[in-house]
Amino acid sequence: MKKVLVIAAHPDDEILGCGGMISKYLRKGCQFKVIFIAEGSSCRYDDPCCAESVSAIALRTAQSIRALELLGINDYSFNDFPCGRLDQLPIIEINKVIEQAVQSFDPDTVFTHSAQDVNNDHRIVNRSTLMATRPGAKNRITRLLAYEVLSSSEWAFGDSFAPNYFEHIQEEDLTIKIQSLAAYDTEMRSYPWPRSEQGVRVQSMIRGMQAGVPLAEAYQIIREFR
């Protein structure tokens, strides 16, 4: 991997899903770009345009910028489509955002959400990514992978996330991931909430045991060719 595009439905998904991998490959000299499709906060309000919602969106954006700085990423974009309401948009609008990012950044690898997530925004972003990065669409993408997101991927009971690729990460990568997630202090909670410091560590240990290493992140290979 040399140029990696991470597509996230909401701010915090990028670090929950790929934080350890990003830390690992930044040290190897990889370039990363993160794009956020929805703003991640307005779904909690009856009126998505009310003052409280606008304030929450601004706070989430500031938290995201801080988290990405801690992780070491300075190439990112916010599109602020309505959180929890992506199914009310023509999917072509989301496709165009992803296509523009692919054309301008020219990645060789793309990470997106799993189609099995319980969160519907995640599923829509997965489907849109597949359309926007389809073979023959004038891009040089050789790897397309899905990542898992705590409190979404594992809650799709009966059709849950089934990884077929594991990325071995080091303790320093997990530490940076947890420190970056701490910037999202409105999203993180105490254990046993999955999005907690202990929850993130336990997930990394479980995936590590599955792969035969101390710590790992898990992914699904959607498409790969050489």
Phi-psi region of 151 (alpha: psi -120 to 50; beta: other; left: phi over 0): left
- The CATH homologous superfamily for domain 3-224 is LmbE-like (3.40.50.10320)
Which structure tokens are listed for 126? 């997965």
Q: Which residue has the tokens 């439905």?
A: 9
In Å, how far are 103, 111, 211 from 9, measured between CA atoms? 19, 12, 27
* Strands laid side by side in the 76-81 sheet: 76-81, 31-38, 3-8, 109-113, 143-147, 216-224, 165-168
Per-domain boundaries in the chain: 3-224
> Going residue by residue through the chain (226 aa), what tens digit of pLDDT does each one get?
999 999 999 999 999 999 999 999 999 999 999 999 999 898 888 888 788 989 999 999 999 999 999 999 999 999 999 999 999 999 999 999 999 999 999 999 999 999 999 999 999 999 999 999 998 778 999 999 999 999 999 998 888 899 999 999 999 999 999 999 999 999 999 999 999 999 999 999 999 999 999 999 999 999 998 7
Residue 112 sits at the vertex; the CA angle it makes with 83 and 62, to the nearest 5 degrees, is 50
- Contact present, 150 and 200 (Cβ < 8 Å): yes
Q: Is the dihedral of CA 103, 107, 108, 113 positive or negative?
A: negative
pTM of the model: 0.95
Give a three-class secondary structure readout of 163-193. Answer: CCEEEECCHHHHHHHHHHHCCCCCCCCCCCC
CA neighbor of 78 nearest in space, from 44, 41, 38: 38
| pLDDT tens per residue, range 46-84 | 888 788 989 999 999 999 999 999 999 999 999 999 999
- Tens of pLDDT along 11-22? 999 999 999 999
Residue 46 has which token pair?
Answer: 């009856």
